[in-house]
Amino acid sequence: MKTAKRALPFLLLALGAGFLVLGIFGGEVAIVLSRAANICLECIGIG
């Protein structure tokens, strides 16, 4: 039980890194960039 608890942050970090890599290869970076690099009218209360 204690070993599992100690391993959990490592597992979550590895899972996060895995998701990031899959997201990068899946072309999701462009979606985030296109959204973040243009003024988001909804965010500023116009859209």
Partner 1 sequence: MAKKYKRNKFRNWFQGAWGLVSNGYLAGFVKGHIWQGDSKSVCVPGLNCYSCPGALGACPIGSLQAELAAREVKFPLYVTGFLLAFGALFGRFVCGFLCPFGWVQDLLYKIPSRKIGTFKYDRLLRYLKFVVLAVLVVLLPALVKNAAGVGTPWFCKWVCPSGTLFAGIPLLLANPTLRAVVGFIFSWKMAILILILGLSVFLYRPFCKYLCPLGAAYSLFNKASFYRLKLDENACTHCGICKRACNMGVDPSKTPDDIECIRCGDCVKNCPTKALSAGFFTGKRKIHQGEDGEETQITE
Where do contacts with partner 1 occur on this chain (CB under 8 A)?
A: 2, 5-6, 8-10, 12-13, 15-24, 26-33, 35-40, 42-47
CB of residue 22 to partner 1, shortest distance in Å = 5
> What's the closest the beta carbon of residue 38 comes to partner 1, in angstroms?
8
Shortest separation between residue 7's beta carbon and partner 1, angstroms: 8
Tokens 């462009």 -> residue? 30
Question: What residue type is 47 in one-letter code?
Answer: G
**CA distance to 5, 7, 9, 12, 19, per residue, from 2 (Å):** 5, 9, 12, 16, 26
